[in-house]
Structures are given as structure tokens and as C-alpha cells.
Chains A and B, each alone.
Chain A
């Protein structure tokens, strides 16, 4: 029996819009990557959750009970589970039996408790030396978590063979703030500010996915005007983030010009939505406020100027990063392609179109072949032009009416996705009488960092920074 058929034989829990299949541990252990790909993995106090997509694009949410704090590991068959299993062990204390990697991930031994998400916390930890993967006789170059120049915290351990990086290992967790614990016991409206602060360069996308998960759990729909303005904000965010990421990668004159356009876009966002990054503008039930009267004109003006110059900017990228940082095909298959990184390697993956959500029209995502730095940078700028036309279309056809509905104080479970600038962000939550009992936010970076490590193996040391910027993986968004 195929894994997707096996999943569908299990009893279901009423999660919306996709039911949750509660697998017995024998069924869980029989799952294999033949016809399902792992999208996200998390837990609550009693179970572990795995979100799959079948080869036909069907979304399959599954869970299995954690018994005596243990569950059978998925990581031997699904490499994308390796990092999340370590996170689940740190936050909830559920051990993955037979897990590929048992080292801690988010927990550096410095919190005031251990297993902060478990029903019963453990005692405070103590800092221990992190066991990096053995590198034999190779020289090691440690970089970060602090760089001096503006950057998010990540430690990247480079094992060098001459001028080449034989392998690269990333260590994260530095920006762990305990966001998921802070969400618990609060209404989705109050907890939205934590979703908005998971990752600033994807604050709209995380807020949209969080709001849609809450709305699914509560069985409500935001008004049409709010849905279309969410689309405007999400695409303005994609434009600003892509411009920033490509600008950081290429630097110099072109980087400066892209940064200039990014700044204009952020100022237009400020004029339209009263925040440069549109943080806290999307809330469960709709929006925190309507677009300002002159906001549409401000966005449209900046969008026209950028659209006019964009072909020249794309040409100016020339061959930057051609053949550099190619994602190896086996890694793409093992971790599943997500976002720009996947599309730049020829895979038509985009949550805006599959599974799809409003206000996005049915369309096929643009893809590029190559899977190298050049494809990722060029595709980002191409996506900017697509986003610009979406923004201008929507601004010209905004439905009238309110921008929010009130939330009922009911119980329910919801799952939702939004395509952030770097890929799909999945949010799941369970509400108990209108308050969050449990929630999780899966940034695509859980699957992108291992691909970045794979793309760095064998690269010239001088190219590592360029490869890093072409991936633009989240730090905070994954540190939770």
C-alpha cells in the first residue's frame, strides 16, 4: 500500500480545511518517501505531527501519539525530519526512537527551563560544548553568530581543503525567543504579534498563514476587501525582500540601486499601511486597519518606477553566480524543494498556486533551470515583476466593505499556508474556547538550510557568502 493510501485508512480528527489522520505507531513506521514528501514536523504535549504532500499535491496532515515521551523517528526515511526531530526533543522532550541525529538544536543549555513546551518542564540546563560533525584533519573556519555587519545570528562552521569548502555545517537556535510558549493561552488576535515577529522579512506571510489557520479553526472568512489587501501586502513584502536579498548578494552599484528601490517600496508601504514592513497589519479576522486614502497611489507610483527599470536591473545581474552553489539533485529529492530555491532548480512549487489560496488567480509559477546562484537571483527579480503586476491589478480593483470580522470564542483546529518570499510557511493551531491551546509555525528554512549546506560542499571559500545570500534562509524564523 502506498503511504498516501495508508494515511487515508487512519481515523481522522476534525482539523480544517484538511483533516488530521491519527496514525497508530505501526502505520507511522510504515510511512516511506515513495509517494509523499515531508513538508513540516512539530508536536504538542501528547503527539507528534507530520505534514506531507502526496505526489499528486494532496495535503496530508498526520499525527501519532508520543508514548512515555517516545515516538518512532521519521528521519531514517525522511531526511527533512532530522532538524525538526531535534527541535521537538528540545521543546517538548519527545524522543525520536532511532533518530538519525540526537544532538540538541534550539536548546543551547542556557534557558531557565528545559522542555519548555512539555506538560512538565525540566530543570534549567547547563551550557555544553556543541558537538560539530567530525571533520577529520581538515582545517575549520568558525564564523558567527555575530558578524559585526548587519546580519541575523547563525554559526557556520566551514571545513576547508585548501581554497575549497569540503563541507559546511550550520548551527542555529541563537534567536530562540520562546514565541510558541508566549502564544499559548492567548486569543489569536493577541498572539498574532508573535507570529508577526517570527521573521521580519516574511512578517506578512507569517501573519497571513497564522490568521488563515485561526480562521480555519474558527470556521470564519475575512471580508473580500481584507483578502485582497492581504494579497497586496504579501506581494509588496515579496518585492521588498527580494530586492533586499538580491541587493545584498550582488552589492556594488547594482546592490545600491536595488536597495534604493527597496527603500521606496518600504516608504510606500508606510504611507499605505502605516508600517514600513507591514508588521501587525494582518490579523485573524481580517486586517488591523484599512489602506490609507493616498496609499494606493503611493504604491502604484513606486511600482511603476520599479517596473520601468526592472528589465535593466535584471540585465545588470549578467552572469553573477553562474555555476556556483548548485543544489545537488539527490539533496533536492531528499529534502523536498521549497520556494525560490526549488523553482530556481526547475520545480514548479508555489503555495500561492498549489494548494492555492485567495486572492491568487490560478497560474503556473515561473521556474528556472540551473539550480545555481545565478538562477536564484534572476528568478527573484523576475518574481518581483510578477508581484508588481499583481499589486497594480489588485489596487485597481479593490472591493469595498469592511476589513475585519470579530472572532467567535469557539474551539477548533486549523492549518494554513502562505508563500513567503523564501517559500511556504505553514501555521497550525488548536483553539480551546477561543484561546490558543497549541500552535506551530513552520518556516521553509527547515528544509532550505540542509540544501544550502549541500550546495556549499565543494564551493570556493570566496563564494560561500554569495551562496548564503542567494538562499536567504531565515534564522529567527526557524529559531522560534
Chain B
């Protein structure tokens, strides 16, 4: 069956080689510093989610740091969880995490996601996202201010930048 998608020609090998030569190692490292973020609400009051939205606005300008939200876990590097992990969202969290490619990180955003917060011990919550997925970074606060969340993301960028360098994409 004939594909209806637009035909995009492969870039010429000479053009790629010329461009690569112009990018020194430092520039490559900087360009490699980008992370795709995926928000999984794990049953919070919406406060942490609202502060994540604020990060996306013009005041904090996530894009500036190479950070952006994506709408599929398959495109994501970092899972941001907000909420005490309600029983009704555990499966959604597990599925989103499983769909993310390696390497991947999880940030528990807010006191609820850290350990259940004030909802600890309820019949309906698991008491923190660590009960379901491995957590790499905790950002405390109820809710944490956008600046605190951003500081956590930048720390993750800085700590993992060397490991995230990938060989240039191979072209057939």
C-alpha cells in the first residue's frame, strides 16, 4: 500500500559532515542537555500540578533549559509524579513508567508524592510514589514553589549530562 506521508529526502552525507565539524565537543554536550518531562498526577489536590503549569509559563520558561513536557511516556526521560499515589492511579503510574525508554528518572514532586503527606494511612492511598516506582529525586513542599521544582530538574540535568551523550545518529 502506498504511504500517504510526506516524503522527506535524507540529508546529504557531506552536509552532515560539515555541520558536525563545526560543532565542537562542548557544544555537543550542551545540545545533549535536554530532557522530556511526563507528568503523572498520582492523586494530589492539584496544587503541585498547578505549580508545574506555572513552570511551563513565560516566567520560568522551561524551554530555556532544554526541558519540555511531552504527551506520551514513550517520548519521556523524566516522570514527574504529584500526589500521595491513590489506589485508583497506581496502575496508570506503573504503565506510564513501564512505557518510558531507558535511561529514565522519577521525581516525586511535593510532600504527598514523597511519602503520602497528610494522606498517609488512608485506605485509598499507597503513601508515596516510591511504593510503585523507583524514585530518583524528592522535591518537598506543599506544594513546592516552581523555583524549587526547577532547581530539582536542573540538578538532574547537571548530574546526568555526561551519561546522556549519545553517539551521532547512524544514517543508512
Chain A's closest residue to B82 (CB) is A150
A174–B89 CB distance below 8 A = yes
Q: How many A-B residue pairs have CB under 8 A?
A: 154
CB distance from B80 to the nearest CB of A (A): 8
Chain B's closest residue to A155 (CB) is B92
Chain A's closest residue to B55 (CB) is A150
Chain A stretch 158-176: residues in CB contact (< 8 A) with chain B:
173-176
- Known interface pairs A149-B69, A151-B41, A476-B45. Does A256 touch B57 (Cβ–Cβ under 8 Å)? yes
B45–A108 CB distance below 8 A = no
Chain A's closest residue to B80 (CB) is A150
- Contacting residue for A148 out of B57, B72, B118, CB 8 A: B72
A177–B143 CB distance below 8 A = no
B43–A174 CB distance below 8 A = yes
A153–B39 CB distance below 8 A = no
Alpha-carbon distance A270/B144, docked complex (angstroms): 12
Q: What A residues does B91 contact at CB under 8 A?
A: 110, 127
CB distance from A439 to the nearest CB of B (A): 15
A476–B44 CB distance below 8 A = yes
Which of B41, B53, B73 neighbours the largest number of chain A CB atoms within 10 Å of its CB?
Answer: B41
Interface size on A, residues (CB 8 A): 53
Chain B's closest residue to A152 (CB) is B46
Q: What B residues does A145 contact at CB under 8 A?
A: 41, 89, 92
A112–B123 CB distance below 8 A = yes
Q: Identify which of A93-101, A218-226, A258-266, A381-389 touches chain B.
A: A258-266
User: A331 in the interface, Cβ–Cβ < 8 Å?
Assistant: no
CB distance from B39 to the nearest CB of A (A): 5
Alpha-carbon distance A176/B93, docked complex (angstroms): 15
Q: What B residues does A376 contact at CB under 8 A?
A: none
User: B161 in the interface, Cβ–Cβ < 8 Å?
Assistant: no
Q: What B residues does A279 contact at CB under 8 A?
A: 47, 142
Alpha-carbon distance A244/B52, docked complex (angstroms): 12
A148–B39 CB distance below 8 A = yes
- Contacting residue for A177 out of B38, B48, B124, CB 8 A: B124
Alpha-carbon distance A248/B122, docked complex (angstroms): 32
A200–B50 CB distance below 8 A = yes
Chain B's closest residue to A145 (CB) is B92
B56–A150 CB distance below 8 A = yes
Q: What A residues does B96 contact at CB under 8 A?
A: 146
A263–B44 CB distance below 8 A = no
B45–A248 CB distance below 8 A = no
User: B58 in the interface, Cβ–Cβ < 8 Å?
Assistant: yes
A153–B54 CB distance below 8 A = no
- Known interface pairs A116-B124, A262-B54. Does A152 touch B90 (Cβ–Cβ under 8 Å)? no
- Contacting residue for B143 out of A200, A475, A476, CB 8 A: A200
Which of A116, A147, A153, A181 neighbours the largest number of chain B CB atoms within 10 Å of its CB?
Answer: A153
User: B151 in the interface, Cβ–Cβ < 8 Å?
Assistant: no
Chain A's closest residue to B39 (CB) is A150
Chain B's closest residue to A275 (CB) is B142
Indicate with 1 or 0, residue by residue over B58-72, a CB within 8 angstroms of chain A CB atoms.
110000000001111
Q: What A residues does B57 contact at CB under 8 A?
A: 247, 255-256, 259-260, 262-263
User: A323 in the interface, Cβ–Cβ < 8 Å?
Assistant: no
Q: What A residues does B124 contact at CB under 8 A?
A: 111-112, 116, 176-178
A476–B87 CB distance below 8 A = no
Q: What A residues does B56 contact at CB under 8 A?
A: 149-150
CB distance from B141 to the nearest CB of A (A): 10
Chain A's closest residue to B38 (CB) is A148
Q: What B residues does A175 contact at CB under 8 A?
A: 41, 43-45, 83, 86, 88-89
B125–A197 CB distance below 8 A = no
- Known interface pairs A113-B123, A148-B73. Does A244 touch B88 (Cβ–Cβ under 8 Å)? no
Interface size on B, residues (CB 8 A): 46
Q: What A residues does B71 contact at CB under 8 A?
A: 147-149
Alpha-carbon distance A114/B51, docked complex (angstroms): 33
- Contacting residue for B49 out of A151, A257, A266, CB 8 A: A151
User: B40 in the interface, Cβ–Cβ < 8 Å?
Assistant: yes
- Contacting residue for A116 out of B43, B70, B72, B123, CB 8 A: B123
Chain A stretch 122-158: residues in CB contact (< 8 A) with chain B:
127, 145-153
Chain A's closest residue to B93 (CB) is A146
A174–B70 CB distance below 8 A = no
Alpha-carbon distance A111/B89, docked complex (angstroms): 11
Q: What B residues does A150 contact at CB under 8 A?
A: 39, 49-50, 52-53, 56, 69
User: A193 in the interface, Cβ–Cβ < 8 Å?
Assistant: yes
Alpha-carbon distance A4/B149, docked complex (angstroms): 52
- Known interface pairs A177-B125, A244-B50, A279-B142. Does A476 touch B119 (Cβ–Cβ under 8 Å)? no
CB distance from A386 to the nearest CB of B (A): 23
User: B150 in the interface, Cβ–Cβ < 8 Å?
Assistant: no
Alpha-carbon distance A109/B57, docked complex (angstroms): 38
User: B84 in the interface, Cβ–Cβ < 8 Å?
Assistant: yes
Alpha-carbon distance A479/B84, docked complex (angstroms): 14
Chain B's closest residue to A173 (CB) is B88
Alpha-carbon distance A256/B51, docked complex (angstroms): 14
CB distance from B85 to the nearest CB of A (A): 10
B122–A244 CB distance below 8 A = no
Q: What B residues does A153 contact at CB under 8 A?
A: 41, 43, 89, 92
Chain A stretch 36-52: residues in CB contact (< 8 A) with chain B:
none
User: B145 in the interface, Cβ–Cβ < 8 Å?
Assistant: yes
B92–A146 CB distance below 8 A = yes
Q: What B residues does A111 contact at CB under 8 A?
A: 87, 123-124
12 A-B residue pairs with CB within 8 Å: A148-B72, A149-B71, A175-B43, A178-B123, A181-B122, A200-B46, A244-B50, A244-B53, A256-B58, A270-B145, A276-B51, A476-B45
Binding site for A on B (CB under 8 A): 38-41, 43-54, 56-59, 69-73, 76, 83-84, 86-93, 96, 118-119, 122-125, 142-143, 145
